[in-house]
């Protein structure tokens, strides 16, 4: 069975802010099905920058990225990579 979600930690100093949310949304829009960003009990569509920002995720926050279909595994991997590389930020 293919895992359709991955947990990540926000490691960039500025947390999940507008630029990083925009990058997630840009990648999520390439998906064939819904992509979700989940923090605690709140689940939002990853294609919406504003929805992502409502999660209020500073550095150290635990986030789950979830896809609805295994055909979007590449999208999931690309979003997770953004978290792992601090969205290209130096600090």
Annotated active-site positions, please? 17
Beta carbons within 10 angstroms of residue 14's beta carbon: 15
Interacting residues of 64 by C-beta distance below 8 A, sequence separation 6+: 5, 6, 7, 8, 36, 37, 38, 39
In what side-by-side order are the strands of the sheet with 42-45? Answer: 5-9, 62-67, 35-39, 42-45
């Amino acid at each position: 069975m293919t895992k359709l979600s991955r947990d990540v930690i926000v490691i960039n100093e500025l947390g999940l802010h507008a630029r990083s949310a925009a990058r997630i949304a840009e990648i999520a829009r390439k998906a064939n099905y819904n992509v979700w960003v989940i923090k605690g009990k709140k689940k939002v569509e990853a294609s919406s920058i504003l929805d992502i920002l409502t999660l209020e995720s500073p550095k150290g926050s635990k986030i789950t990225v979830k896809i609805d279909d295994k055909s979007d595994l590449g999208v999931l991997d690309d979003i997770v990579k953004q978290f792992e590389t601090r969205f290209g930020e130096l600090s």
